[in-house]
Structure 1
């Protein structure tokens, strides 16, 4: 151990350079991980918080189900009868509105039955239970954009006025803040014609995007789908129906994978060159009686110090970036995610040192006795 630390001190310039590379790689992996989590939350947090186990869509909607699927009350009643679990309709659509104070906002309107289990809890104001039909509960993200409890929100081009009565958590869908309205009001928003007189509940179709099941069905979901011409997905699988979710996940995860591949190659290349440069010293240690196991421990200790300390510094840098960007961009890096990511970086970095271990064990003590002359 003393020799390993002595070499680190003697060649501190090279080890600091290598450590800096590890810091940057670890920080970059952490930052990408934060954006991956943040973008995912910004896309599906409203879906993730739904207290539902499964979602039922129309069978003709094979992608973007929340935008393309339409179910009616007849299908909902049949499913409720056969599913053996509590069910409730759910409508989802993205729209735009303007408040009475001039704030223009995009919102993901979630149509729910105020008396059913999808009704959101509120952190401020009142919930939709026993509220008027024109009431809306907004996400805290809409509050950040200037919408307040007590405001009037008018849906653009439709002329539908909504009164903000409550506020819930920071929930969004497709990078758009969520807003919860009674199902009948959502149907007016979804099916009204822009520019036409505001539709009433009597003139819009009694349809919705999906049917939420509180718990998995007691019988085969496939059999019920075949019987009622529907498609049942778990809530987690339904995340893929959110706009942009799959593409973003594939892109960000691909970047992370390439960074995980780069880390061992960079670390391995450095220690390979370092081991070649140290061949005379290693041969001298072998000639003085050092065992191969001791030389291996010597090399692994150096690599561990460089990789672990560099990774720890990278974690601090990634966390600092998260604090710096704050809520300006979709960035989320919980301590558990950061710890797992950094442990992975350290593990793959140390795996790169395996490329150098063979040269360490092959150090020939005869080199120092002139056998190469």
Structure 2
């Protein structure tokens, strides 16, 4: 193939183009990884709830921070929603002190053992109704705090502080951009409200399992899907818009840069294109060679960028306070395919120039 032979003959020139393409691919991959990582930090724990819908107070604006449900409202949700299973869940933010003395925040989720609100334990044991001073910690919390299963941690909210023993490890993810810990709902209620009586809220939200639950509402409550609940986490919509804009600009810039490179190369090769046309080559044949070159260079850039992005992510994970970057197989595949597509689209700039080359004029310029 003429396109491949030209790459072999002009190794340095095409290698430099390949480096630029690899750097652009790496940048776009890291932006996509940042988007995935920020989404996980915002509410992977919410996405992992064993529920089909989540019920909030109808006065909370779908904010788990402001949602408070009374015992009467909780009972109405259970009876009026028609859910097969339900579980009350409490939320609050607490502070803890790391080994280095720094104060950090964590998300506390209060649940009842034996319900769909109970998270799966990956190490240690789960909570029982008697574990008032025990909690389950997500592995992200354990890494950030330097603690392990069996250690004790002091959690503080407002002016009170309470010591807990970590009895189990979880892999449920963060909640509201904070590492998560799980405790009994009764303990959560005591910590958040201080004293418990008939007027004290009993839950922040209710997890519901069943069909057709999203969109249901009743006196004092409304239910939405987990996707809607996630989209209404404070800061998520703006964050996703920003990352999406950066991603689109990355694809556009990548395609334009590749297109400009090949447009310049095409102009430089006008005499050679004229020779090819003089011996019978069609504009379509020459343009296909440019497409082959763009595909090879784009593929080479992606092959370099993907492992580089993965290694960068692995290195970042070792930091005490890692940047929230995460990759999935879908992220790598989708990004690679779109980058290759943008590279091919970028070469379309050269198509008109190839078609305009007149072999007689081009040969006259070569003399």
Global fold match (TM > 0.5): yes
Is the contact between residue 91 and residue 204 of structure 2 (CA under 8 Å) also seen in structure 1? yes
Q: Does 1:339 align with 2:314?
A: no
Is the contact between residue 83 and residue 217 of structure 1 (CA under 8 Å) also seen in structure 2? no
Report what 1:32 is aligned to: 31
Give the 3 Å change call, closer, same or farther, for CA 369–55 of structure 1 in structure 2. closer
Matches within 5 A, 1:1-373: 1=1, 3-62=2-61, 65-85=63-83, 86-98=85-97, 105-144=104-143, 145-156=145-156, 157-169=159-171, 171-192=173-194, 199=195, 201-202=196-197, 205-217=200-212, 222=215, 224-225=216-217, 227-328=218-319, 329=322, 330-368=324-362, 370=364
How high is the TM-score relative to the length of structure 2? 0.90
Rounded Cα–Cα distance in structure 2 between residues aligned with 1:229 and 1:283: 77
Is the contact between residue 94 and residue 106 of structure 1 (CA under 8 Å) also seen in structure 2? yes
How high is the TM-score relative to the length of structure 1? 0.88
1:107-126 CA-partner distances (Å, limit 9, x unpaired):
21001111211111212222
Structure 2: gaps spanning 5 or more residues: none
Give the 3 Å change call, closer, same or farther, for CA 103–305 of structure 1 in structure 2. closer
The range that moved more, 72-81 or 166-175, is: 166-175
Structure 1 residue 316: Cα displacement: 2.3
Rounded Cα–Cα distance in structure 2 between residues aligned with 1:184 and 1:241: 27
Structure 1 residue 257: Cα displacement: 1.1
Is the contact between residue 270 and residue 362 of structure 2 (CA under 8 Å) also seen in structure 1? no
Is the contact between residue 66 and residue 241 of structure 1 (CA under 8 Å) also seen in structure 2? no
Is the contact between residue 98 and residue 154 of structure 1 (CA under 8 Å) also seen in structure 2? yes
Is the contact between residue 295 and residue 361 of structure 1 (CA under 8 Å) also seen in structure 2? no
Give the 3 Å change call, closer, same or farther, for CA 244–54 of structure 1 in structure 2. same
Rounded Cα–Cα distance in structure 1 between residues aligned with 2:56 and 2:350: 55
Cα RMSD of the aligned pairs, angstroms, is 2.5
Rounded Cα–Cα distance in structure 2 between residues aligned with 1:99 and 1:50: 28
Equivalences, count: 360
Structure 1: gaps spanning 5 or more residues: 193-198
Give the 3 Å change call, closer, same or farther, for CA 147–295 of structure 1 in structure 2. same
